[in-house]
């Protein structure tokens, strides 16, 4: 009898679809999933956070520039979303078999085990704008464990990307990124790795949305590799005296929207590992995001706006969907973030300034130039969690973005009061354009011999020049004084890690 009832429900789905969502707010994929399953996991998007953002702005202005901006943002968004989500909350409270979590950072609600009947009821709430399956995106790694011939581990000092962007020249002034806190949404971090030991801020410094583990861990490797490039020791990191906090938003390499939003809230207002005791004063200064999905999708913009209001600088990789034009991924293609493309050639270990073939090209959302800047992203040598002393060469814009995040940490150590706009302008103005290899590809009609362009953005970052300029020094490009350092990587074949772009 149950089978007969379920078949009747399935057969009637097309008719129900025609009448159940007059505003077209229920994604077709929801109906298709419900045709083969009695329940699905959903993400309900409501009418945005603009009123909450306005309230936060008023509150911050009234409190003054030295206030805890993140706390004001959190309170204002919570007030707005509590009111905005009231209809959805009432319906879900009457469904004991459903589990749900409301997000104040993006005015959204994640629902587990939603039935067709529940979807219909939720779609009738006036301020519900979209009901989708919980979408997922992928990490921007192009290849792992690259097998190559490398110099003797003791012959050279620094990873090539670290040297290429001028980090050792900044270190010579005593600036190693000390005092700056970096945030990460990724696959986690092996906090005991020799290159990362002692760099994790234990106070409100780790959150695992799925399992609430107590210390940073990484079963994939991507998060450990990116964090190593940001602040690792042993010559692999750009800002080795910075500290980090992290959120496991991409377990096993898949990042669901629900996990990413939960991590976004944690990084705006960090908590204990079990999600208790929020303290917004402990938010990071800059957040690395080496992940993304199909372009021109603004689903994460509300979270980014909240970070920006709290004076957090968002850095995103632009994607590995090149080499065609108009392949920039979201959120990296948003005008609200620093989107990063990758440089480097597959023919050399010490990295020339050519555009990596896989690096996505612009334009970005709304016609803005993307990427904003480029950074080393091929044959990037960093830590992996095989054990506490393992390293590998990886490739991807996932590897480029951490160079920019680490560079921003160095800039903020030298300029602690710098705003997002000031950091962005410094990276733009100091970017190296003369060494870059033209592709003869005119994305969106802009030659990549004219800057900014939709291949390299404003150029490849030069943090030595940026920091020198901020101190009133010369704006001429600074020649790197450090030799490139490499360490023996484990042997292996090139793994072409395919990047899947979800249809949100």
Torsion region of 304: left, alpha or beta (phi above 0 gives left; psi -120 to 50 gives alpha)? alpha
What separation, in Å, do the N-terminal and C-terminal C-alpha atoms of the chain show?
A: 36
Residues sharing a CB contact under 8 Å with residue 472, sequence separation 6 or more, in sequence order: none
Dihedral angle computed from the Cα positions of residues 216, 219, 223 and 227, in that order, rounded to the nearest 10 degrees:
60
Residues sharing a CB contact under 8 Å with residue 128, sequence separation 6 or more, in sequence order: 25, 44, 45, 46, 87, 88, 122
Place of tokens 């936060």: 56
Taken in order 338, 317, 400, 213, is the CA torsion positive or negative? positive
321, 398, 430, 480: the active-site residue: 398
Residues sharing a CB contact under 8 Å with residue 173, sequence separation 6 or more, in sequence order: 467
Rounded CA-CA distance 455/449 in Å is 10
**How far apart, in Å, are the Cα atoms of 504 and each of 50, 151, 395?**
22, 44, 26
Residue of 219, 501, 229 lying closest to 351 (CA atoms): 229
123, 140, 186, 302: the active-site residue: 186
72, 140, 222, 225: the active-site residue: 222
Residues sharing a CB contact under 8 Å with residue 16, sequence separation 6 or more, in sequence order: 31, 116, 120
Question: Is residue 224 a contact partner of residue 189, using CB atoms and an 8 Å limit?
Answer: yes
Rg (C-alpha) for the chain, rounded Å, is 23
463-470 vs 397-414: helix crossing angle, rounded to 10 = 20
Q: Count CB neighbours of 211 within 10 A.
A: 10
Residues sharing a CB contact under 8 Å with residue 453, sequence separation 6 or more, in sequence order: 369, 443, 446, 447
Dihedral angle computed from the Cα positions of residues 434, 436, 439 and 442, in that order, rounded to the nearest 10 degrees:
-60
Active site residue 186: yes
Active site residue 193: no
Place of tokens 């030295």: 66
245, HSE (Cβ side, Cα atoms, 13 Å): 27
Instruction: Please list the active-site residues.
Output: 186, 222, 398
């Amino acid at each position: 009898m149950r089978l007969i009832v379920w078949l009747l429900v399935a057969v009637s789905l097309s008719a129900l679809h025609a009448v159940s969502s007059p505003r077209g707010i229920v994604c077709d994929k929801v109906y298709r999933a419900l045709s083969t399953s009695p329940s699905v996991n959903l993400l309900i998007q409501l009418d945005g956070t603009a009123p909450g953002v306005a309230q936060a702005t008023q509150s911050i202005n009234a409190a003054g520039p030295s206030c805890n901006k993140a706390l004001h943002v959190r309170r204002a968004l919570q007030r707005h979303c509590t009111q905005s989500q009231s209809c959805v909350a009432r319906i879900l409270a009457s469904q004991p078999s459903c589990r749900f979590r409301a997000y104040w950072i993006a005015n959204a609600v994640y629902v587990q085990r939603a039935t067709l009947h529940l979807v219909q009821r939720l779609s009738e709430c006036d301020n519900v704008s979209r009901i989708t399956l919980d979408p997922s995106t992928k990490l921007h790694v192009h290849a792992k464990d690259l097998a190559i011939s490398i110099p003797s581990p003791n012959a050279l000092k620094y990873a090539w990307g670290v040297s290429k962007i001028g980090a050792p020249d900044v270190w010579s002034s005593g600036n190693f990124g000390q005092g700056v806190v970096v945030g990460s949404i990724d696959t986690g971090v092996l906090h005991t790795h020799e290159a990362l030991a002692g760099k994790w801020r234990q106070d409100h410094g780790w959150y695992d949305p799925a399992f609430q583990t107590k210390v940073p861990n990484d079963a994939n490797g991507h998060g450990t590799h990116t964090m190593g490039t940001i602040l690792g020791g042993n010559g692999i990191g750009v800002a080795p005296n910075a500290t980090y906090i992290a959120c496991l938003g991409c377990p096993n390499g898949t990042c669901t929207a629900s996990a990413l939003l939960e991590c976004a809230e944690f990084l705006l207002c960090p908590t204990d590992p079990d999600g208790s005791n929020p303290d917004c004063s402990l938010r990071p200064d800059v957040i690395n995001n080496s992940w993304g999905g199909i372009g021109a999708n603004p689903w994460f913009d509300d979270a980014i706006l909240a970070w920006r209001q709290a004076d957090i600088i968002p850095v995103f990789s632009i994607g590995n969907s090149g080499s065609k034009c108009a392949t920039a991924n979201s959120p990296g293609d948003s005008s609200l973030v620093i989107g990063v493309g990758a440089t480097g050639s597959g023919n050399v270990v010490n990295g020339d300034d050519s555009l990596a073939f896989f690096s996505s090209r612009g334009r970005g959302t709304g016609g803005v130039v993307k990427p904003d800047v480029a950074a080393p992203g091929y044959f990037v040598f960093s830590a992996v969690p095989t054990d506490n002393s393992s390293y590998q060469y990886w490739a991807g814009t996932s590897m480029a973005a951490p160079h920019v995040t680490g560079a921003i940490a160095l800039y903020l150590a030298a300029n602690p009061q710098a705003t997002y706009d000031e950091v962005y302008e410094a990276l733009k103005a100091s970017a190296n354009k003369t060494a870059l290899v033209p592709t003869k590809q005119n994305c969106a009609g802009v030659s990549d011999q004219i800057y900014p362009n939709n291949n390299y953005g404003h150029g490849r970052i030069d943090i030595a020049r940026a920091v020198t300029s901020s101190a009133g020094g010369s704006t001429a490009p600074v020649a790197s004084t450090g030799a490139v350092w490499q360490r023996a990587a484990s042997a292996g074949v090139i793994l072409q890690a395919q990047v899947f772009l979800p249809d949100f």
